[in-house]
Amino acid sequence: MRPQVPAGTTTAIRHAGTSGPVVGLRTADGGALLFYDIGATLTVTAPAGSTLSRLNVPGFVAPGGQATSVTLDFLEQFATYDPARGHGTGLPIVADYSGITGQG
């Protein structure tokens, strides 16, 4: 996205839990594969006196506009491995996917 926005453009992202449940599958070694999602909002703001006229996010933001700020909502989905007790402490992410769900 950086080549599409003027120098000095700022971005901010905010993550928030969703109402979706955490779902788990027990693995053969006693651990669990957990599936969950979180929401995210990305705000892109042009520096004073500039616009985001070159920004192109197909289906959401068309180039040529005069917006000085754009907000996009995302849903991020994860699969995480939770090892069995006594077999590690990390929760490595084994898969993730995110996609735009709307324009705020």
CB 6 within 8 A of CB 46: yes
Query: Which pTM value belongs to this model?
Result: 0.77
- The DSSP symbol for 30 reads S
Going from N- to C-terminal start, the domains of the chain cover: 2-103
What are 85-101's pLDDT values in tens digits?
888 776 788 999 999 99
How many CA atoms, within 13 angstroms, populate the side-chain half-sphere of residue 71? 4
The rounded distance, in Å, linking the Cα atoms of 101 and 104 is 10
What are 2-28's pLDDT values in tens digits?
889 999 999 999 999 888 899 999 999
Amino acid at 13: I
